[in-house]
A and B are shown apart, each in its own frame.
Chain A
Amino acid sequence: MKAAQNAVPFNNDPALQERLQAIIEKYKDEKGALIPVLQQAQDIYGYLPIEVQMAVAKAMDVPLEKIYGVVTFYSFFNLYPKGDYEISVCLGTACYVKGSRKVLDCIQETLSIEPGQCTSDRKFSLDTCRCIGACGLAPVMLINDDVYGRVLPAEVPEIISKYQ
């Protein structure tokens, strides 16, 4: 639950906070409103960072642990934002033996984020995936719908710079 893990600084825009408060106000007296509130909070912020969870906890008078429990139970809730460009590195067998781990390491180094996280400018988010069925091109990485095959770790900065 460490807020520091998140490379994206929390957007403290009062306008967004106001929208969140309005939603909480609307549901305040309704039973079982926590999940609809969190769903709409995610619509506002794009994800549910610890700051938003704390704000909901305070305004709805619900323990933060309960909110974290709910957020991590359902696969629709994200603790980290997704970037404009979603990078995905294949760690399937063929890619792995061809060195996709090194490609992943290099992306992590270039962008200073771990898999599951997003860069501070919200441009790139990083994930790993299982076989995408392009073993002949191994190792493979995807940036949104673009497929890059036979990627060498040394090529990573150049590929990423195309999107910067």
Chain B
Amino acid sequence: MKLQDLNSIKERVLSDVLESTETIRVLVGLATCGIASGAVPVMEKLTELAAGNEKISVSKTGCIGICQYEPIVEVITPDHQKTTYVKVTPEKAEIIYKEHLLGGTPVPDYLVGTVLPSGEDEIATCLEETIFYKKQHRIALRNCGRIDPEQIDQYIATDGYQALGKVLTTMSPDDVIQTMLDSGLRGRGGAGFPTGLKWKFASGNRGNVQKYVCCNADEGDPGAFMDRAVLEGDPHAVLEAMAIAGYAIGASMGYIYVRAEYPTAIARLRIAIDQAKELGLLGDNIFGTDFSFDIDLRLGSGAFVCGEETALMTSIEGNRGEPRPRPPFPAVKGLFQQPTILNNVETWANIPRIILNGAEWFSSMGTEKSKGTKVFALGGKINNTGLVEIEMGTTLREVIEEIGGGIPNGKAFKAAQTGGPSGGCISKENYEVPIDYDNLIAIGSMMGSGGLIVMDEDNCMVDIAKFFLEFTVDESCGKCTPCRIGTRRLLEIMEKITSGNATMKDLEHLEELATYIKEDALCGLGQTAPNPVLSTLRYFRHEYEAHIKNKKCPAGVCKDLLVFSINPHLCVGCGLCQSKCPTGAIFGTLRKPHVINPEICIRCGTCISACKQEAVEVV
């Protein structure tokens, strides 16, 4: 494979497929979210209908980003008019086929504009016309939802592997590292370490020592799925970037550590690696140069701690995935005790574009110390759940109210949780703070891998902090005491608070212990485990105090603090609740108001659903 060959593939695929002026292109979103929503039967239906019709090509693509409106079908006509259909079923697909693909008239009822506003007078006919999309800037997600991830040719047609060709034929390894340093790219896995600096640390003694390049695809934070979307929608971007890093630091071998819970991502990575090897874009003497680079997959086996860099390497080595103390840092002694760099999937996905467009292009986006864009997985109490890629410096208000479409059911925004079990909450008072690494840390949260869970007035912040703590207690590997025992003790105090048995002294202990764990745990998991507690204490201390002093959960979530009672004016004494109560906590005689004994009541809510008079009240 030579650079000219790459260009001829690109021209051929552009004219025949991606920018064809002959055929209608039909794309079906077949990432995990699409498949789970029933996109496979839609794809089969369209393929069956279009069989034999040379003017229509149906193909799969990755995640388009609006998860809740899957399955999504996009139609691109030979005049390059694009139409996005949402919530498509096989029946709807048949109508789209007849009216739009054969008849030439888009079907208005299923358009994306019926669910997402365009901000203008006319309804949006394609995703690009919606406010949800217009406010985004896609670099890492550039190909997701645009190309078929199982066709290397289509990746090549979007300038794929051109960046690798450019570094191998026109740049020295040091030039590559300098470009990364100048771009200001920081690690997208959460901690935000400058990528170029990491590479520089590992770049010494090229050619004399075995080095490794690793990709962290062990995306374990509950609520984050941007890495999955990239792997399922654009796997070659990761492979190309890893090869670029291999050239920069002098490594010939790369490993992708991907969690076993992502079968679609694993399958597409395997296909991508095979295709790249077949075309000579991985393997020996790439583009006819001296540079050789190979990539292998390693599957995780269900341990959250393996997302931590040293634990991940210990796991690839075939051991229990326990972290190691740093220093030595992986750039000095990493995988198999050799110099190693590890970057996250989203970081990798940015790199080919930085090489092609230059460091200046990338560093012109974002804030002073956080360049480029960040992908967030929007979830929780928000109208548009899905994946969004925004320029650094966008405010939380813009993300939630404009891109996210606000909070459902007219409820009030309370907080947004970022960084998963390692992060914290952003409250309304920081609604206008530009989102970047340093600002988020200053307000007590962190960027994290990009989960952004929105909470409204019905969420109890103490309960949320407890939820994340339960997660870290479960996932603590047990190697160091502050994490293994400390987080468990923290959880016990949290349980005391949410069950109404805590005193203000416990709150002091909670803060003290949280601070100790943060300072003394061995790895990132333990050091950040108290963050959800500390940040909710910082902004929602009054909720903790309400649980402790008044024995009340203001949001009405913590079950132990709720009291179920029957309104005697509404109760008709039918006895339905009494017969349904699993613990026999309801007493009374027929046709007379009943009462609930709070000592026996387990607050399961069965009586509420049983009562036809709505007489059961919760305070």
Contacts and interface: CB of A to CB of B under 8 A. Distances in A.
Interface of A: 31-36, 39, 66, 69-70, 73-77, 93-95, 97-98, 135-138
Contacts, number: 70
Nearest to B255: A32
Interface in B203-233: none
Interface stretch (B32-40, B271-279, B297-305, B392-400): B297-305
Q: Which of B302, B316, B336, B602 has the most CB of A within 10 A?
A: B602
Contacts of A35: 298-299, 301, 315-316, 318
Given A35-B315, A39-B301, A94-B582, A69 B320 contact: yes
B317 interface: yes
Contacts of A73: 303, 320-322, 477
Contacts of A137: 582
Contact of A70 (B300, B318, B477, B582): B318
Contacts of A95: 582
A33 B477 CA distance: 21
A58 B73 CA distance: 53
Contacts of B303: 73-75
Contact of A74 (B298, B321, B606): B321
B4 interface: no
Contacts of B604: 93-94, 135-136
B217 to A, nearest CB: 15
Nearest to A70: B320
B583 A75 contact: no
B509 interface: no
A136 B609 contact: yes
Contact of A97 (B321, B336, B583): B583
A68 B582 CA distance: 43
Contact of A93 (B298, B318, B602): B602
Interface string B594-614: 000000001011100110000
B260 interface: yes
Q: Which of B301, B583, B604 has the most CB of A within 10 A?
A: B301
Contact of A36 (B298, B321, B322): B298
Contacts of B300: 74
A24 to B, nearest CB: 13
B319 A70 contact: yes
Contact of A98 (B319, B582, B605, B610): B582
A138 B315 CA distance: 42
A73 B305 CA distance: 11
Contacts of A98: 582-583
B369 interface: no
B580 interface: yes
A45 to B, nearest CB: 16
A74 B315 CA distance: 10
A36 B299 contact: yes
Contacts of A135: 582, 602, 604-606
9 contacts: A31-B317, A32-B317, A35-B315, A36-B298, A97-B602, A135-B602, A135-B604, A135-B605, A135-B606
Contacts of B321: 73-74
A77 B610 CA distance: 43
B477 to A, nearest CB: 8
Interface in B281-336: 298-303, 315-322, 336
For the complex of A and B, 4 pairs with smallest distance between CB atoms: A34-B318, A74-B301, A135-B604, A75-B302
Contacts of A94: 582-583, 602, 604
Contacts of A136: 580, 582, 604, 606, 609-610
A33 B300 CA distance: 13
